[in-house]
């Protein structure tokens, strides 16, 4: 339905994270909260789970055991749907997915297609929340197939809501709006009001992302009118958060504050810490837009602590960005700032690793699924052929034995055998034709796949490539077959190609990256996974072009080493410098600006910023190209001297002291040279101690 091949983009900052929270929350709510729809049977515990999920989860094990003992599959399906609803409210997505799967299985045994569809929808939404988009989309497709045979407007609308939310998560906002409209077309004016409200919410969300703010506000008004008739605090919270987001885009601070307080009230009603954190975050952003820094920082810190308490790393990462943006324009306590930056880096690393692992798992699952499908087709064809041969052999043996004991009926038996043999031959030919057709379809699937797929023998000679691989190399598939894969690798990767072939021969599989060279001589980085088909004697490889991701990661790494104001290196560069120098000797000069606070107090922070920028340029002009200027604190700089000797350090110290009047601001100096292979931190500490010693001596001299 959606063809998931690429994740879309979403807004940055708070709203990017909030939209994902809203989408996941709304995705979970739709199949369960529609108590106003009489068409769909529900267990009372399913409705109770909306407001008392913990009590429902405590009561369910006994109810499920009684249903199993009574062998009542339909009741079991209804109870599993109630469990899925309760798990959704407490944000246990794995539990929701498993409960949905159990509900679908029980409904299938009870031959109740409506309950089976609801179970598939619950399972798909649990998969979406775990970012298993491929499986979730396939489950929605299975539900759609069932609905074609057993129509239900409410469930059809629910499926379209799932596709709409999935499209929004992938950044396909026009598709999200279109699926929401398709879902609304399934419902009558007063039918399934909770479902209608969520579909309208999805459409408003997509319209706001498409910059159609007037249409988004009108759609939200209609959604609120539909939601007023439904007692669903979670739905009310979703709509309040959506109203706050649209209001912020429109600069309406009053509506933001009103919506934020509404979310806090609903969070308290549901005892939901995540809603409480989102409400404080809305109020914090409203205060920041209004210029109330103190309130903004207080509300954002409260939200930050709520998400930290729940272990919501993505929400905590989003809040740390907001707090850093708030603190960077004001004097902030260095200890608090450093602790916040360290926490931000830890969270960023944790989320990045999690995303990469999920992406790798999703890619591996897709490839494994495709290989399993091909293997199933092949095995089914071979099994059918073997059964036909076995039947033919058994029939021939039976006829032969009869011929030995019935010589008088030889003519009749031979005639019967001839007719039967022709029938078996026709069936055998049909089986062979079916096998050839299956193999042809599998070949077409590989050729038409948008992923990079290639086959080569164990010497590295290409046997087949699909169109996507040929286009990625800038040529046609026919021009690649028969050539060695190594011919299309860069010089660096070509050296490792023989090792790649040896690993395939020994381990029958290999994974890694290769630098490929297109026909136009440009180079791209592929991440590949290759397996050897033991029955066929060739290797099947698939690859993903990760060139842009690699470049973006390298650019981000370099950007993180720079101070945003002065463009000098920041403290993160210390580790990079120490790694580069290895065992070489280095020199360190601490530069601490004298009376810089007076500049800020008398001339303002902008003047102080200009002094810091000018000081950076001045220090950079004093050192070699191989050296580095690091802004280690507010008015503190460090000169890192590569491959330094004591005379070089003393010469630079003398020059800096002699030229001090030419600098934008007077300063104090402290220097140290690496001793006995010590760490950079130890050298910095000695230079700092030297600077304070000289300052103390100067003060005593003045006294």
Three-state DSSP class for residue 196: helix
Tell me, rounded to whole angstroms, the distance of Cα 399 from its chain centroid: 65
The pLDDT, as a whole number, for residue 28 is: 43
For residue 462, the surrounding DSSP H or E stretch is: strand 462-465
Q: Are 663 and 603 in contact (CB under 8 A)?
A: no
Which regions of the chain carry the CATH code 1.25.40.10?
251-332
Low-confidence ranges of the chain (pLDDT < 70): 1-39, 328-334, 336-337, 340, 351, 354-380, 383, 434-450, 536, 702-703
Q: Are 202 and 161 in contact (CB under 8 A)?
A: yes
User: Cα dihedral angle (227, 230, 234, 235), rounded to 10 degrees?
Assistant: -20
The pLDDT, as a whole number, for residue 2 is: 43
Which regions of the chain carry the CATH code 3.30.450.20?
449-560
Tell me, rounded to whole angstroms, the distance of Cα 174 from its chain centroid: 21
CATH of 562-702, one of 3.30.70.270, 3.40.1190.20, 3.40.718.10, 3.40.50.300: 3.30.70.270
Structure tokens at 254: 């009053």
For residues 630 and 567, give the distance between their C-alpha atoms in angstroms, rounded to a whole number: 9
CATH superfamily of 449-560: PAS domain (3.30.450.20)
Write the DSSP string, 596-656. HHHHHHHH-HHHHHHHHHHHHHHHHHHS-TTSEEEE-SSSEEEEEETT--HHHHHHHHHHH
For residues 179 and 192, give the distance between their C-alpha atoms in angstroms, rounded to a whole number: 17
For residues 687 and 574, give the distance between their C-alpha atoms in angstroms, rounded to a whole number: 15
- Write out pLDDT tens, residues 96-146: 999 999 999 999 999 999 999 999 999 998 888 887 888 888 999 999 899
C-alpha angle 572/576/581, rounded to 5°? Answer: 140
The pLDDT, as a whole number, for residue 13 is: 47
Tell me, rounded to whole angstroms, the distance of Cα 653 from its chain centroid: 51
* Upper half-sphere CA count for residue 40 (Cβ side, 13 Å): 33
Residues 6 or more apart whose CB falls under 8 angstroms from that of 474 comprise: 518, 519, 520
Nearest 5°: phi and psi at 513?
-125, 150
For residue 510, the cross-strand partners are: 530
C-alpha angle 314/315/319, rounded to 5°? Answer: 120
Three-state DSSP class for residue 519: coil
Sign of CA dihedral 609, 612, 618, 624: negative
Structure tokens at 203: 């459409």
CATH of domain 251-332: 1.25.40.10
């Amino acid at each position: 339905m959606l063809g998931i091949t690429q994740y879309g983009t979403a807004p940055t900052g708070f709203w990017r994270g909030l939209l994902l929270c809203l989408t996941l929350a709304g995705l979970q709510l739709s199949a369960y909260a529609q108590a106003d729809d009489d068409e769909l049977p529900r267990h009372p515990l399913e409705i109770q789970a909306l407001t008392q999920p913990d009590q429902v989860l405590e009561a369910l094990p006994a109810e499920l055991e009684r249903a199993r003992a009574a062998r009542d599959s339909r009741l079991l399906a209804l109870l599993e749907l109630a469990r899925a609803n309760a798990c959704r409210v407490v944000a246990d997505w794995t539990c929701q997915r498993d409960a949905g799967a159990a509900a679908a299985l029980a409904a299938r045994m009870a031959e109740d297609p409506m309950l089976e569809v609801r179970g598939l929808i619950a399972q798909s939404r649990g998969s979406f929340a775990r970012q298993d988009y491929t499986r979730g989309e396939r489950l929605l497709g299975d539900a759609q197939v069932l609905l074609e045979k057993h129509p239900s407007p409410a469930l059809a609308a629910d499926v379209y809501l799932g596709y709409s939310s999935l499209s929004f998560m992938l950044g396909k906002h026009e598709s999200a709006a279109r699926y929401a409209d398709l879902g609304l077309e399934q419902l009558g004016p007063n039918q399934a009001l909770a479902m209608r409200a969520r579909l309208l919410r999805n459409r408003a969300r997509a319209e706001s992302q498409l910059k159609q703010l007037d249409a988004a506000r009108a759609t939200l008004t209609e959604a609120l009118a539909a939601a007023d008739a439904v007692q669903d605090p979670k739905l009310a919270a979703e709509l309040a958060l959506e109203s706050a987001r649209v209001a912020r885009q429109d600069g309406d601070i009053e509506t933001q504050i009103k919506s934020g307080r509404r979310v806090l009230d609903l969070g308290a009603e549901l005892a939901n810490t995540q809603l409480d954190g989102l409400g404080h975050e809305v109020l914090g952003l409203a205060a920041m837009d209004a210029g109330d820094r103190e309130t903004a920082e207080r509300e954002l810190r409260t939200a930050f602590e709520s998400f930290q308490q729940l272990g919501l790393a993505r929400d905590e990462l989003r809040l740390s960005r907001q707090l850093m943006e708030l603190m960077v324009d004001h004097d902030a306590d260095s200890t608090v700032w450093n602790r916040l930056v360290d926490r931000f880096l830890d969270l960023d690393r944790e989320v990045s690793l999690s995303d990469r692992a999920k992406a790798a798992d999703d890619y591996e699952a897709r490839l494994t699924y495709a290989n399993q499908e091909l293997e199933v087709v092949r095995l089914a064809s071979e099994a059918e052929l073997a059964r036909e041969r076995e039947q033919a052999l058994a029939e021939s043996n039976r006829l032969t034995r009869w011929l030995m004991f019935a010589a008088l009926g030889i003519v009749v038996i031979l005639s019967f055998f001839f007719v039967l043999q022709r029938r078996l031959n026709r069936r055998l030919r049909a089986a062979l034709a079916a096998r050839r057709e299956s193999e042809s379809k599998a070949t077409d699937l590989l050729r038409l796949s948008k992923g990079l797929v290639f086959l080569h023998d164990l010497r590295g000679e290409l046997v087949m490539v699909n169109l996507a691989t040929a286009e990625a190399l800038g040529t046609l598939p026919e021009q690649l077959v028969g050539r060695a894969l190594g011919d299309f690798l860069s010089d660096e990767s070509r050296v490792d190609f023989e090792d790649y072939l040896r690993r395939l021969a020994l381990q029958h599989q290999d994974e890694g990256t290769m630098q490929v060279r297109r026909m136009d001589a440009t180079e791209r980085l592929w991440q590949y996974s290759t397996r050897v088909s033991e029955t066929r004697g060739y290797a099947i490889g698939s690859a993903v072009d990760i060139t842009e991701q690699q470049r973006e990661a390298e650019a981000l790494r370099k950007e993180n080493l720079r101070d945003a104001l002065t463009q000098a290196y920041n403290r993160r560069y210390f580790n990079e410098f120490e790694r580069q120098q290895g065992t070489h000797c280095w020199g360190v000069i601490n530069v601490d600006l004298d009376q810089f606070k007076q500049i800020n107090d008398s001339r303002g922070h902008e003047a102080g910023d200009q002094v810091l920028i000018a000081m950076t340029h001045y220090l950079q002009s004093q050192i070699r190209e191989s050296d580095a200027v690091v802004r280690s604190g507010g008015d503190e700089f460090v000169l890192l001297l590569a491959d330094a000797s004591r005379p070089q350090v003393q010469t630079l110290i003398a020059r800096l002291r002699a030229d001090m009047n030419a600098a934008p601001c007077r300063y104090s100096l402290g220097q140290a040279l690496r001793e006995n292979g010590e760490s950079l931190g130890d050298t910095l500490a000695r230079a700092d101690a030297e600077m304070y010693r000289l300052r103390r001596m100067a003060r005593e001299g003045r006294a």
